[in-house]
Homo-oligomer: A and B are copies of this chain.
Protein backbone atom coordinates (compact mmCIF):
# COMPACT_ATOMS: atom_id res chain seq x y z
CA UNK A 1 0.00 0.00 0.00
CA UNK A 2 0.98 3.57 -0.53
CA UNK A 3 1.88 4.34 3.06
CA UNK A 4 4.65 1.87 2.98
CA UNK A 5 6.59 4.49 1.09
CA UNK A 6 6.86 6.37 4.33
CA UNK A 7 9.11 3.65 5.56
CA UNK A 8 11.83 4.14 3.08
CA UNK A 9 13.79 7.31 3.63
CA UNK A 10 14.63 9.04 0.39
CA UNK A 11 18.38 9.02 -0.12
CA UNK A 12 20.40 12.11 0.64
CA UNK A 13 20.16 14.59 3.48
CA UNK A 14 17.15 15.01 5.70
CA UNK A 15 16.55 11.39 5.00
CA UNK A 16 13.58 10.93 7.26
CA UNK A 17 11.75 14.16 6.64
CA UNK A 18 8.42 13.91 4.90
CA UNK A 19 6.52 16.94 3.66
CA UNK A 20 2.87 17.36 2.83
CA UNK A 21 1.18 19.93 0.60
CA UNK A 22 -1.14 21.28 3.24
CA UNK A 23 -2.57 23.99 1.06
CA UNK A 24 -4.09 21.53 -1.34
CA UNK A 25 -4.98 19.15 1.47
CA UNK A 26 -6.99 21.92 3.10
CA UNK A 27 -9.33 21.88 0.10
CA UNK A 28 -9.94 18.17 0.35
CA UNK A 29 -11.03 18.14 3.96
CA UNK A 30 -14.54 18.91 5.19
CA UNK A 31 -15.00 22.38 6.53
CA UNK A 32 -16.14 21.12 9.87
CA UNK A 33 -13.01 19.03 10.28
CA UNK A 34 -10.86 22.08 9.71
CA UNK A 35 -12.99 24.14 12.05
CA UNK A 36 -12.70 21.41 14.66
CA UNK A 37 -8.92 21.46 14.38
CA UNK A 38 -8.74 25.19 14.77
CA UNK A 39 -11.13 25.15 17.69
CA UNK A 40 -9.27 22.40 19.52
CA UNK A 41 -5.93 24.10 18.99
CA UNK A 42 -7.32 27.36 20.33
CA UNK A 43 -8.95 25.59 23.26
CA UNK A 44 -5.65 23.96 24.12
CA UNK A 45 -3.82 27.25 23.94
CA UNK A 46 -6.39 29.06 26.07
CA UNK A 47 -6.62 26.17 28.48
CA UNK A 48 -2.93 26.40 29.17
CA UNK A 49 -2.88 30.16 29.37
CA UNK A 50 -5.69 29.88 31.86
CA UNK A 51 -3.79 27.21 33.73
CA UNK A 52 -0.84 29.58 33.99
CA UNK A 53 -3.09 32.33 35.22
CA UNK A 54 -4.69 30.15 37.87
CA UNK A 55 -1.27 28.99 38.91
CA UNK A 56 -0.06 32.54 39.24
CA UNK A 57 -3.14 33.41 41.25
CA UNK A 58 -2.11 30.68 43.68
CA UNK A 59 -5.07 28.45 42.96
CA UNK A 60 -2.98 25.48 41.94
CA UNK A 61 -1.08 23.28 44.36
CA UNK A 62 1.18 21.16 42.23
CA UNK A 63 3.06 21.05 39.02
CA UNK A 64 2.08 21.41 35.38
CA UNK A 65 3.71 21.07 32.00
CA UNK A 66 2.54 23.39 29.27
CA UNK A 67 2.53 22.58 25.57
CA UNK A 68 2.00 26.10 24.28
CA UNK A 69 3.40 26.18 20.76
CA UNK A 70 3.00 22.43 20.28
CA UNK A 71 -0.75 22.21 19.67
CA UNK A 72 -0.62 20.96 16.08
CA UNK A 73 0.79 17.59 17.10
CA UNK A 74 -1.97 16.33 19.39
CA UNK A 75 -4.79 17.96 17.47
CA UNK A 76 -3.61 16.89 14.03
CA UNK A 77 -2.91 13.37 15.24
CA UNK A 78 -6.08 12.79 17.17
CA UNK A 79 -8.06 14.54 14.46
CA UNK A 80 -7.16 11.65 12.21
CA UNK A 81 -8.74 9.07 14.54
CA UNK A 82 -12.22 7.61 14.50
CA UNK A 83 -14.23 8.48 17.61
CA UNK A 84 -13.85 5.07 19.23
CA UNK A 85 -10.11 4.88 18.71
CA UNK A 86 -7.84 5.25 21.70
CA UNK A 87 -4.97 7.34 22.96
CA UNK A 88 -2.43 7.22 25.76
CA UNK A 89 -0.09 10.09 26.45
CA UNK A 90 2.20 11.76 28.93
CA UNK A 91 2.90 14.56 31.37
CA UNK A 92 2.51 17.23 28.69
CA UNK A 93 -0.90 16.00 27.71
CA UNK A 94 -3.47 18.82 27.88
CA UNK A 95 -3.76 19.03 24.10
CA UNK A 96 -4.22 15.31 23.74
CA UNK A 97 -6.96 15.28 26.32
CA UNK A 98 -8.79 18.18 24.75
CA UNK A 99 -8.47 16.74 21.26
CA UNK A 100 -9.85 13.40 22.44
CA UNK A 101 -13.03 15.19 23.43
CA UNK A 102 -12.69 15.79 27.14
CA UNK A 103 -15.24 17.96 28.85
CA UNK A 104 -13.11 20.96 29.56
CA UNK A 105 -14.77 21.96 32.80
CA UNK A 106 -14.20 18.49 34.20
CA UNK A 107 -10.64 18.61 32.95
CA UNK A 108 -10.08 22.00 34.50
CA UNK A 109 -11.65 20.62 37.66
CA UNK A 110 -9.02 17.91 37.72
CA UNK A 111 -6.32 20.47 37.18
CA UNK A 112 -7.61 22.27 40.26
CA UNK A 113 -7.86 19.03 42.21
CA UNK A 114 -11.65 19.07 42.49
CA UNK A 115 -13.96 16.17 43.25
CA UNK A 116 -15.87 16.34 39.93
CA UNK A 117 -12.56 16.31 38.04
CA UNK A 118 -11.77 13.37 35.80
CA UNK A 119 -9.71 11.70 38.49
CA UNK A 120 -11.64 13.12 41.43
CA UNK A 121 -8.71 15.39 42.21
CA UNK A 122 -6.41 12.42 42.81
CA UNK A 123 -4.45 12.81 39.58
CA UNK A 124 -3.98 16.44 38.70
CA UNK A 125 -2.50 17.94 35.55
CA UNK A 126 0.01 15.14 35.09
CA UNK A 127 -2.47 12.29 35.27
CA UNK A 128 -5.64 13.33 33.51
CA UNK A 129 -7.38 10.32 32.01
CA UNK A 130 -10.81 10.07 30.42
CA UNK A 131 -11.35 6.36 30.09
CA UNK A 132 -14.87 6.71 28.76
CA UNK A 133 -13.57 8.97 26.03
CA UNK A 134 -10.93 6.43 25.02
CA UNK A 135 -8.20 8.46 26.69
CA UNK A 136 -5.99 6.16 28.75
CA UNK A 137 -4.41 9.12 30.41
CA UNK A 138 -1.06 10.51 31.24
CA UNK A 139 1.77 8.98 33.19
CA UNK A 140 4.28 11.04 35.10
CA UNK A 141 7.02 8.50 34.58
CA UNK A 142 8.85 9.38 31.42
CA UNK A 143 8.37 6.40 29.11
CA UNK A 144 6.03 4.63 31.49
CA UNK A 145 3.06 4.82 29.14
CA UNK A 146 4.69 3.16 26.16
CA UNK A 147 4.73 -0.40 27.50
CA UNK A 148 1.14 0.14 28.62
CA UNK A 149 0.33 1.18 25.06
CA UNK A 150 1.62 -2.20 23.95
CA UNK A 151 -0.86 -3.88 26.27
CA UNK A 152 -3.75 -1.83 24.98
CA UNK A 153 -2.73 -2.59 21.43
CA UNK A 154 -2.39 -6.24 22.34
CA UNK A 155 -5.93 -6.35 23.70
CA UNK A 156 -7.22 -4.73 20.51
CA UNK A 157 -5.32 -7.25 18.48
CA UNK A 158 -6.47 -10.26 20.49
CA UNK A 159 -10.05 -9.12 20.25
CA UNK A 160 -9.73 -8.50 16.54
CA UNK A 161 -10.88 -4.96 17.07
CA UNK A 162 -10.58 -2.44 14.30
CA UNK A 163 -9.66 0.26 16.77
CA UNK A 164 -6.29 1.92 16.69
CA UNK A 165 -4.24 3.41 19.52
CA UNK A 166 -2.05 6.49 19.40
CA UNK A 167 0.78 6.47 21.92
CA UNK A 168 2.36 9.88 22.54
CA UNK A 169 5.66 10.71 24.20
CA UNK A 170 8.49 13.21 24.03
CA UNK A 171 11.92 13.25 22.44
CA UNK A 172 13.80 12.73 25.70
CA UNK A 173 11.63 9.72 26.40
CA UNK A 174 13.13 7.74 23.54
CA UNK A 175 16.30 7.23 25.60
CA UNK A 176 14.41 5.23 28.20
CA UNK A 177 14.63 1.46 28.04
CA UNK A 178 10.84 1.32 28.07
CA UNK A 179 10.70 2.91 24.62
CA UNK A 180 13.00 0.28 23.21
CA UNK A 181 11.33 -2.75 24.74
CA UNK A 182 7.86 -1.53 23.88
CA UNK A 183 8.47 -0.67 20.25
CA UNK A 184 10.15 -3.99 19.70
CA UNK A 185 7.21 -5.83 21.21
CA UNK A 186 4.65 -3.84 19.23
CA UNK A 187 6.58 -4.57 16.07
CA UNK A 188 6.88 -8.33 16.43
CA UNK A 189 3.22 -8.55 17.37
CA UNK A 190 2.15 -6.15 14.60
CA UNK A 191 -0.04 -4.20 16.97
CA UNK A 192 -2.39 -1.42 15.80
CA UNK A 193 -0.45 1.39 17.41
CA UNK A 194 1.00 4.59 16.06
CA UNK A 195 3.89 5.80 18.19
CA UNK A 196 4.07 9.56 18.09
CA UNK A 197 7.07 11.42 19.38
CA UNK A 198 6.29 15.05 20.14
CA UNK A 199 9.84 16.28 19.62
CA UNK A 200 9.94 19.74 21.15
CA UNK A 201 13.72 19.88 20.93
CA UNK A 202 14.35 19.46 24.66
CA UNK A 203 13.86 17.04 27.48
CA UNK A 204 13.72 19.14 30.59
CA UNK A 205 16.79 21.14 29.63
CA UNK A 206 18.73 18.71 27.49
CA UNK A 207 18.86 19.40 23.78
CA UNK A 208 17.84 16.34 21.85
CA UNK A 209 21.14 16.35 19.98
CA UNK A 210 23.04 16.46 23.21
CA UNK A 211 21.47 13.20 24.36
CA UNK A 212 21.53 11.21 21.15
CA UNK A 213 23.89 10.94 18.24
CA UNK A 214 21.35 10.89 15.46
CA UNK A 215 19.61 13.53 13.43
CA UNK A 216 16.05 12.27 13.63
CA UNK A 217 14.43 10.19 16.32
CA UNK A 218 12.45 8.44 13.62
CA UNK A 219 15.70 6.75 12.60
CA UNK A 220 15.22 4.56 15.64
CA UNK A 221 12.28 2.84 13.98
CA UNK A 222 14.78 0.84 11.95
CA UNK A 223 15.85 -1.05 15.07
CA UNK A 224 12.39 -2.57 15.20
CA UNK A 225 11.84 -3.08 11.52
CA UNK A 226 9.00 -0.59 11.39
CA UNK A 227 8.60 2.57 9.32
CA UNK A 228 9.77 5.82 10.81
CA UNK A 229 9.23 9.32 9.55
CA UNK A 230 9.74 12.87 10.74
CA UNK A 231 7.44 15.70 9.88
CA UNK A 232 6.76 19.36 10.48
CA UNK A 233 4.91 19.01 13.74
CA UNK A 234 3.80 22.63 13.71
CA UNK A 235 1.67 22.14 10.63
CA UNK A 236 -1.56 20.58 11.75
CA UNK A 237 -2.47 19.32 8.30
CA UNK A 238 0.88 17.63 7.76
CA UNK A 239 0.39 15.91 11.07
CA UNK A 240 -3.17 14.99 10.18
CA UNK A 241 -2.14 13.53 6.85
CA UNK A 242 0.87 11.52 7.94
CA UNK A 243 -0.64 10.23 11.15
CA UNK A 244 -3.75 9.42 9.14
CA UNK A 245 -1.70 7.23 6.84
CA UNK A 246 -0.04 5.56 9.80
CA UNK A 247 -3.46 4.94 11.34
CA UNK A 248 -4.72 3.40 8.12
CA UNK A 249 -1.68 1.19 8.02
CA UNK A 250 -2.20 0.09 11.62
CA UNK A 251 -5.89 -0.50 11.07
CA UNK A 252 -5.10 -2.62 8.04
CA UNK A 253 -3.08 -4.92 10.28
CA UNK A 254 0.29 -3.83 8.99
CA UNK A 255 1.62 -2.98 12.39
CA UNK A 256 2.99 0.01 14.20
CA UNK A 257 4.95 2.97 12.99
CA UNK A 258 6.99 5.73 14.57
CA UNK A 259 6.20 9.32 13.61
CA UNK A 260 8.24 12.21 14.90
CA UNK A 261 6.42 15.52 15.05
CA UNK A 262 9.05 18.26 15.07
CA UNK A 263 7.86 21.09 17.25
CA UNK A 264 8.86 23.36 20.11
CA UNK A 265 7.62 24.35 23.52
CA UNK A 266 7.53 28.06 24.21
CA UNK A 267 7.24 27.88 27.97
CA UNK A 268 9.70 26.42 30.38
CA UNK A 269 9.61 22.71 31.08
CA UNK A 270 7.64 23.38 34.21
CA UNK A 271 7.28 26.32 36.53
CA UNK A 272 10.78 26.00 37.98
CA UNK A 273 12.43 26.45 34.58
CA UNK A 274 14.59 29.55 34.16
CA UNK A 275 15.24 28.85 30.46
CA UNK A 276 19.01 29.00 30.81
CA UNK A 277 19.62 26.21 28.33
CA UNK A 278 18.32 28.06 25.30
CA UNK A 279 18.33 31.52 23.82
CA UNK A 280 15.57 34.06 23.66
CA UNK A 281 16.21 34.21 19.91
CA UNK A 282 15.49 30.56 19.53
CA UNK A 283 12.23 30.91 21.42
CA UNK A 284 11.27 33.95 19.38
CA UNK A 285 12.07 32.15 16.16
CA UNK A 286 9.80 29.30 17.05
CA UNK A 287 7.05 31.62 18.21
CA UNK A 288 7.07 32.88 14.66
CA UNK A 289 6.17 29.35 13.62
CA UNK A 290 3.17 29.28 15.90
CA UNK A 291 0.98 26.40 14.73
CA UNK A 292 -2.22 28.29 15.41
CA UNK A 293 -1.18 31.42 13.59
CA UNK A 294 0.04 29.33 10.66
CA UNK A 295 -3.17 27.37 10.44
CA UNK A 296 -5.29 30.48 10.61
CA UNK A 297 -3.24 32.05 7.83
CA UNK A 298 -3.56 28.96 5.69
CA UNK A 299 -7.32 28.85 6.12
CA UNK A 300 -7.64 32.45 5.17
CA UNK A 301 -5.13 32.39 2.34
CA UNK A 302 -6.78 29.33 0.86
CA UNK A 303 -10.18 30.99 1.26
CA UNK A 304 -11.48 28.16 3.37
CA UNK A 305 -12.59 30.64 5.99
CA UNK A 306 -12.63 34.38 6.20
CA UNK A 307 -11.00 36.17 9.06
CA UNK A 308 -14.28 36.66 10.80
CA UNK A 309 -14.98 32.97 10.94
CA UNK A 310 -11.48 32.22 12.11
CA UNK A 311 -11.61 34.77 14.87
CA UNK A 312 -15.06 33.61 15.81
CA UNK A 313 -13.80 30.10 16.39
CA UNK A 314 -10.93 31.53 18.39
CA UNK A 315 -13.29 33.58 20.50
CA UNK A 316 -15.60 30.66 21.12
CA UNK A 317 -12.65 28.63 22.28
CA UNK A 318 -11.66 31.37 24.66
CA UNK A 319 -15.18 31.53 26.02
CA UNK A 320 -15.31 27.79 26.50
CA UNK A 321 -12.15 27.95 28.55
CA UNK A 322 -13.20 30.97 30.59
CA UNK A 323 -16.53 29.40 31.36
CA UNK A 324 -15.00 26.04 32.21
CA UNK A 325 -12.53 27.70 34.52
CA UNK A 326 -15.29 29.56 36.29
CA UNK A 327 -17.22 26.34 36.73
CA UNK A 328 -14.17 24.46 37.86
CA UNK A 329 -13.16 27.00 40.47
CA UNK A 330 -16.56 26.57 42.06
CA UNK A 331 -16.48 22.81 42.07
CA UNK A 332 -16.32 21.11 45.46
CA UNK A 333 -13.11 19.81 46.94
CA UNK A 334 -12.79 16.07 47.51
CA UNK A 335 -13.00 14.71 51.01
CA UNK A 336 -10.17 12.70 52.50
CA UNK A 337 -12.56 10.22 54.10
CA UNK A 338 -11.99 6.54 53.42
CA UNK A 339 -9.31 6.99 50.81
CA UNK A 340 -7.91 3.61 51.72
CA UNK A 341 -11.03 2.02 50.32
CA UNK A 342 -10.33 3.39 46.87
CA UNK A 343 -7.05 1.68 46.19
CA UNK A 344 -8.35 -1.75 45.32
CA UNK A 345 -11.15 -2.52 42.92
CA UNK A 346 -13.91 -4.62 44.45
Please give the residue numbers on chain A whose beta carbons come within 8 Å of chain B beta carbons, in ascending order: 175-181, 184, 187-188, 210-214, 219-220, 222-226
Determine which of B187, B188, B213, B223 lies in contact with A188 in the assembled complex, contact meaning CB atoms within 8 Å.
B213
Give the chain B neighbours of A184 by CB distance below 8 A.
Answer: 175, 211-213
A225 to B16, CA, bound (A): 15
Determine which of B175, B177, B213 lies in contact with A176 in the assembled complex, contact meaning CB atoms within 8 Å.
B177
Enumerate 9 A-B pairs (CB-CB under 8 Å) in ascending A order: A176-B177, A176-B181, A179-B180, A187-B213, A188-B211, A213-B226, A219-B223, A220-B223, A222-B222
A178 to B176, CA, bound (A): 9
User: Does the CB pair B188–A181 fall under 8 Å?
Assistant: no
A180 to B223, CA, bound (A): 10
**Closest partner residue, chain B, to A180 (CB atom):** B180
**Closest partner residue, chain B, to A213 (CB atom):** B225
A162 to B175, CA, bound (A): 28
Determine which of B177, B210, B212, B220 lies in contact with A177 in the assembled complex, contact meaning CB atoms within 8 Å.
B177
A322 to B213, CA, bound (A): 49
Give the chain B neighbours of A223 by CB distance below 8 A.
Answer: 214, 219-220, 222-223
User: Does the CB pair B212–A188 fall under 8 Å?
Assistant: yes
A178 to B179, CA, bound (A): 11
Give the chain B neighbours of A220 by CB distance below 8 A.
Answer: 223
Q: Which of A177, A179, A211, A212 has the most CB of B within 10 A?
A: A177
A176 to B223, CA, bound (A): 13
A225 to B222, CA, bound (A): 12
A239 to B187, CA, bound (A): 31
How far, in Å, is A181 (CB) from chain B's closest CB?
A: 5
Give the chain B neighbours of A214 by CB distance below 8 A.
Answer: 222-225
How far, in Å, is A132 (CB) from chain B's closest CB?
A: 32
Give the chain B neighbours of A225 by CB distance below 8 A.
Answer: 212-214
Closest 7 CB pairs of A and B: A177-B177, A213-B225, A180-B180, A220-B223, A214-B225, A187-B213, A223-B223
